[in-house]
Amino acid sequence: MWNVIITLASVGYGEIYPKSFYGRIIGVIITFWGLFTVSTFVVTITNLLEFDESENKAYKMLLNLYYKRDMKQQAVDLCQIAYKLKIK
């Protein structure tokens, strides 16, 4: 586990490392297993946080409503500025 943490964190202190040929092979296998484990975790979290089709549709609808309200407010502000400039 120490090798996995050090390798994935890219710290590489080198305090503990395998010295025999078979130990190094096991270290490489452990490194790839750690990489596989972390990448699987990241993919799982990404898939859980991603919108599905209905959520994406609702999100886009909410954005459209927000932008519509914002555009109306900007139009009101522009009309007020134009009216104030015309009066002066």
Instruction: Please give the residue range of the domain that contains residue 86.
Output: 52-88
Residue 29 and residue 6 share a domain: yes
Residue 46 and residue 3 share a domain: yes
CA 31 to chain centre: 24
- How confident is the model at residue 7, as a pLDDT? 65
pLDDT of 29 above 70: yes
Residue 26 and residue 9 share a domain: yes
State the CB neighbour count (10 A cutoff) for residue 84.
9
- How confident is the model at residue 23, as a pLDDT? 85
Residue 34 and residue 9 share a domain: yes
- How confident is the model at residue 27, as a pLDDT? 80
| Structural domains counted in the chain | 2
The CA dihedral of 54, 58, 59, 63, to the nearest 10 degrees, is: 150
- How confident is the model at residue 24, as a pLDDT? 82
What rounded mean pLDDT belongs to the chain? 85
pLDDT of 75 above 70: yes
Q: What is the pTM of this model?
A: 0.50
